[in-house]
Every structure is written in structure tokens, then in C-alpha cells.
């Protein structure tokens, strides 16, 4: 039927052009063009839409969000992520890069998530393979005392007979440089105070090379922690190119302060250090990927993640077994409710994060060609204690959307959106402009246990993990199901 008041031939011409346009859009040769312009259209659509319209759309997910929260916190899935983590860490134990345990962990998770009814695949990567070997340290003078140590990742070992030398104790890199002549032929002990992890970790990372520049034979670094019960904390350290590589280990806060007090009294301190550490050729490993495919835009992705590897002490329950488990649990919750978002939900369990995000960097290199289709990247790697807020990095327009999304978390009282999403594994994406989010939890105790024998299931609380899982699932699902991608 022609439009009222218009000639019939004009209506016929309009319908012909409309049908022709539709056919062109469906033509196989235009598919690539359509995919490449999807993100651009999403941005322009978001720009055109009013904030009030977006708020209304997001608010429409209140019932779904409540269903997810109820299932995770009060329903059949209550405590499930905690049970899964306990089963996993009790069965496998710790999982350092290159180890047989890490290989077993990947197989375990592949089978477990497949049995959960999810679509799982593995993506191969090469990862570092450092082995601790036998290690020990003893103070010989001014009195005999065994020192608790953990060699630092990538450290070289000592000669088989060990290194016995006088100790120089310093509290900063600046003090080391001032006393450079005293470092020659000695073991340098760094007794730096803990300010924050981000600031103080420089001593663990660069202490060996800085001391080697001044002629030191080895370094012992005060563990990077604000609290200690004579517990050494390990971690990765980086040798500088062109600088002699000397052995490096962390010692406890108590022993670092003991030697500092002795040095202040003018006492001569002698330590014998023995380390069997060595680096083997890179090992084969995998990033573990699990998906719920989107019904409308399967090529567009909301990515959730945690890392599957850990250090070779404790159980790796907190760092980062919990983050890996809630990233699996989020997909389980959505699947159990029969939900399927517009876009694909993809959980990636990274390998070799502790060595500097090695698995994640290779994932980025492989998938960055599709960067325009990555809607949001999420990482949980600062514990799964009680959630406090969602941290977010993105454009102002994207932040307005995410501000509305976290309002859906009223039932669990985590409606705060903070600046600066963070995570070693998602940082390449955020640096390239992809919106990123991380979980902010009540982490005041995180560095008490971090990279130590204390990182066990005893640290984990099932109710806190329920809340983290609920938050993770709600945010991921809603962002993946919104009409438009987050604007860049």
C-alpha cells in the first residue's frame, strides 16, 4: 500500500532501493567490511544515545542481576567457587611456570570446565622454566643462626660450595651508592622499609643488579611485605643487560632488621649462602580459554581472567587461584541460569603471569588483530576477599555506562566505581585503548601471604568468594548483553 499523499511509483522505488540495500549488506564480499566497522558504529551509536537512555537500558537488567546474585550468594551455587578452589589447590598444589604441576593444573581445569558443560580450548605458548633447587643461608658471625630464605625467580645459583662473605646492610639504593666501596666482595642485605608494594618491589626486582654494579657477590632482600611471622616472600627479579648476574634471595623482615641492628652496633656479620637455582630452556604451556558464545555478535568479546600459575610455595590459593576460580564461576552462573548474552563471554586462565605476564603477552600478540571486537577486558589478581568496588579504565563515555552497571550490585553493596583498572595480564589491552576492569577487594592482608608458604586455602573465605563471583558475573554479563559496545 502506498504512503498516503504520495505517488505509488515513489513508494515502489523506495521499496526497491531498500531491498537492494539489504541484499548488498548480506553479500559475502561485504562481510569483512561489516565486521571492521562494527566497533565504529558502536561508538557513533553511543555518542548519539543520551545518558538517560543508557541508564534506562542498564536498569532493565536489575532482575537478571538479582538472579545471578541470589544464585551465587544464597542459592545452589553458594560456596561453589570456594569448593572448586579447595579441590583444585589440594589436588595440584603450587604451580610455578615450567613445572609439571602447572601442566597438571591446566589439564585439571580443562577437564573440570568441560565437565561443567562449557566450551573449552587451549592456546599454546612458550614460558620460562626456572628451578629453585636446594637453598640455605646461615649467619656465621657474630653468632650462628639459620636464615629463612626463598631464592628469587630467574636468580642464578651459587657455586656448589656456596658463598661465604661479610655482609653490608643498607636501607636504600641511595645508601648503597654512598657506600659503594664497602660493597666490593660482600653480600649486600637490603633492609628497605615497606612503603607500598608498587614502590618497594623495586628492591626485589633490581637489587641484585644494583649491588652487582658495586662489586657485590650476592644479595639478600628484605621480603616485600608489611607483616611477617619469619616468613620469606619470593617473586620475580630482573637482571640488567650487561651487568654481572649474582645470586639473589629474599629473607624475612625479622632477619633483615636483626642484621641492620647488628650493623648499627658495628658488629661484623658473616653469612654463608648456598643456592642451587638454574634456568632451563623455555617450556611448552597453554592459556586455558572457556567461552559462552554470544547470540548476536559472537565475534565481540567481554574477557574475564585470572592466572593459573603461582609461585612454588604455599598452594597459590590466593594468588591467583581465587581469581581463576571466580572467572570460571562467573560463566557457570550465567550458564546455570540459561542466560546467553549478545556478545561472547570469554574466560582466559593465563599461564606464566608471575614471570611478567608471559602467557598474556603472547595471547595479546595473537589476538590484537581483532582488537576492535574486544569490548571489555577484566582481571582478578589481588585476591578474592570481600569486594569493595570495581576499578575501571576507559573513556569518559564508557565510565558513564559502567557507573550505571555497578548500580545493579546494590544487593551486595558494591556500587562503587573507582579509577584505574589494573592487572599485568590485561595491561597491553588497556594501553591500546580497550576498556579494562579489575576487582578491588578488602586486600589489607593480601601482602601478608603473597608469594609465601602462607598462601593456602586457609586464607580464603567462601562467602567473600560468593560475593566476588556474583560481582564478576553481573558486570560481565550485562556489558556483554548491552545494545552497544563500550565507547572507546
- Give me the average pLDDT of each 10-residue run along the chain (488 residues): 36 36 34 40 52 94 98 98 98 98 98 98 98 98 98 98 98 98 98 97 98 98 98 98 98 98 98 98 98 98 98 98 98 98 98 98 98 98 98 98 98 97 97 98 97 98 98 98 97
**Could you say which architecture CATH assigns to the domain 133-276?**
3-Layer(bba) Sandwich (3.50)
Count H helices and E strands in the chain, helices first: 16, 16
Cα angle, residue 297 at apex, residues 294 and 299 outer, rounded to 5°: 90
Residues 6+ apart with CB under 8 A from 293: 119, 340, 344
CA distance 320 to 381: 6
What is the arrangement of strands in the sheet containing 270-275, beginning at the earlier edge strand?
145-147, 135-141, 270-275, 163-170, 187-190, 218-222, 248-251, 149-151
pLDDT at 3: 35
Q: How far is CA 308 from CA 102, 288, 434, in A?
A: 8, 9, 23
Annotated active-site residue 353? The verdict is: yes
State the CB neighbour count (10 A cutoff) for residue 34.
12
pLDDT at 50: 77
pLDDT at 51: 79
Answer yes or no: are the C-beta atoms of 308 and 286 closer than 8 Å: no
**Where in the chain are all domains bearing CATH 3.50.30.30?**
133-276
Helix axes 51-59, 396-406, angle to 10 degrees: 30
Helix axes 100-115, 80-92, angle to 10 degrees: 150
CA distance 335 to 282: 37
Active-site choice (135, 353, 379, 422): 353
Answer yes or no: are the C-beta atoms of 324 and 105 closer than 8 Å: no
User: Rg (Cα) of the chain, in Å, rounded?
Assistant: 27
Q: Helix or strand or coil: residue 136?
A: strand
State the CB neighbour count (10 A cutoff) for residue 332.
25
Q: Helix or strand or coil: residue 50?
A: coil
CA distance 265 to 299: 67
Q: What 8-state DSSP symbol labels residue 279?
A: E
Q: Which three cell numbers stand for residue 248?
A: 639473589
CA distance 171 to 174: 8
**Could you say which architecture CATH assigns to the domain 52-130+281-481?**
3-Layer(aba) Sandwich (3.40)
pLDDT at 39: 45
Q: What 8-state DSSP symbol labels residue 417?
A: E
CA distance 118 to 112: 9
- H or E stretch including 331? helix 322-336
**Where in the chain are all domains bearing CATH 3.40.630.10?**
52-130+281-481
Instruction: Quote the pTM value.
Output: 0.89
Amino acid at each position: 500500500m502506498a504512503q498516503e499523499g504520495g505517488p505509488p511509483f515513489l513508494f515502489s522505488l523506495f521499496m526497491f532501493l531498500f531491498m537492494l540495500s539489504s541484499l548488498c549488506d548480506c553479500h559475502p564480499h561485504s562481510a569483512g567490511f561489516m565486521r571492521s566497522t562494527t566497533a565504529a558504529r558502536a561508538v557513533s551509536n553511543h555518542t548519539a544515545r543520551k545518558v538517560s537512555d543508557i541508564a534506562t537500558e542498564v536498569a532493565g537488567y536489575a532482575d537478571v542481576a538479582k538472579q545471578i546474585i541470589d544464585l551465587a550468594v544464597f542459592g545452589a551455587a553458594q560456596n561453589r567457587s570456594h569448593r572448586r578452589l579447595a579441590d583444585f589447590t589440594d589436588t595440584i598444589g603450587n604451580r610455578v611456570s615450567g613445572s609439571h604441576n602447572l601442566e597438571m593444573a591446566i589439564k585439571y581445569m580443562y577437564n573440570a570446565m568441560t565437565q561443567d558443560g562449557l566450551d573449552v580450548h587451549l592456546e599454546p605458548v612458550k614460558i620460562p622454566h626456572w628451578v629453585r633447587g636446594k637453598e640455605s643461608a646461615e649467619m656465621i658471625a657474630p653468632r650462628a643462626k639459620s636464615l629463612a630464605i626463598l631464592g628469587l625467580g630467574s636468580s642464578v645459583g651459587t657455586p656448589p660450595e656456596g658463598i661465604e662473605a661479610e655482609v653490608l646492610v643498607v636501607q636504600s639504593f641511595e645508601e648503597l651508592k654512598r657506600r659503594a666501596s664497602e660493597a666490593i666482595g660482600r653480600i649486600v642485605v637490603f633492609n628497605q622499609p615497606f612503603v607500598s608494594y608498587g614502590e618497594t618491589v623495586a628492591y626485589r626486582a633490581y637489587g641484585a643488579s644494583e649491588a652487582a654494579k658495586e662489586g657485590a657477590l650476592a644479595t639478600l632482600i628484605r621480603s616485600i611485605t608489611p607483616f611477617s611471622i619469619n616468613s620469606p616472600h619470593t617473586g620475580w627479579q630482573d637482571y640488567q643487560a650487561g651487568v654481572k648476574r649474582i645470586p639473589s634471595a629474599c629473607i624475612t623482615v625479622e632477619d633483615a632488621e636483626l642484621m641492620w641492628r647488628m650493623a648499627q652496633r658495628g658488629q661484623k656479620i658473616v653469612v654463608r649462602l648456598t643456592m642451587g637455582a638454574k634456568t632451563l630452556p623455555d617450556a611448552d604451556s597453554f592459556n586455558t580459554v572457556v567461552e559462552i558464545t554470544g547470540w548476536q555478535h559472537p565475534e565481540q568479546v567481554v574477557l574475564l581472567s585470572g592466572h593459573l600459575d603461582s609461585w612454588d610455595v604455599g598452594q597459590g590459593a590466593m594468588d591467583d587461584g581465587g581469581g581463576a576460580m571466580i572467572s570460571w564461576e562467573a560463566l557457570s552462573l550465567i550458564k546455570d541460569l540459561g542466560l546467553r548474552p549478545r556478545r561472547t563471554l570469554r574466560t582466559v586462565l593465563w599461564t606464566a603471569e608471575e614471570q611478567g605476564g608471559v602467557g598474556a603477552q603472547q595471547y595479546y600478540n595473537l589476538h590484537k588483530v581483532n582488537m576492535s571486537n574486544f569490548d571489555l577486558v577484566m582481571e582478578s589478581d589481588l585476591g578474592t576477599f570481600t569486594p569493595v568496588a570495581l576499578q575501571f579504565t576507559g573513556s569518559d563515555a564508557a565510565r558513564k555506562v559502567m557507573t550505571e552497571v555497578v548500580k545493579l550490585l546494590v544487593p551486595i553493596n558494591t556500587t562503587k566505581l573507582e579509577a584505574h583498572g589494573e592487572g599485568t595480564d590485561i595491561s597491553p589491552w588497556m594501553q591500546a585503548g580497550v576498556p579494562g576492569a579489575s576487582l578491588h577487594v578488602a586486600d589489607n592482608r593480601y601482602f601478608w601471604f603473597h608469594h609465601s608458604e602462607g598462601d593456602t586455602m586457609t586464607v580464603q573465605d567462601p562467602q567473600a568468594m560468593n560475593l566476588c563471583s556474583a560481582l564478576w558475573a553481573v558486570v560481565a554479563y550485562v556489558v556483554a548483553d548491552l545494545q552497544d559496545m563500550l565507547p572507546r
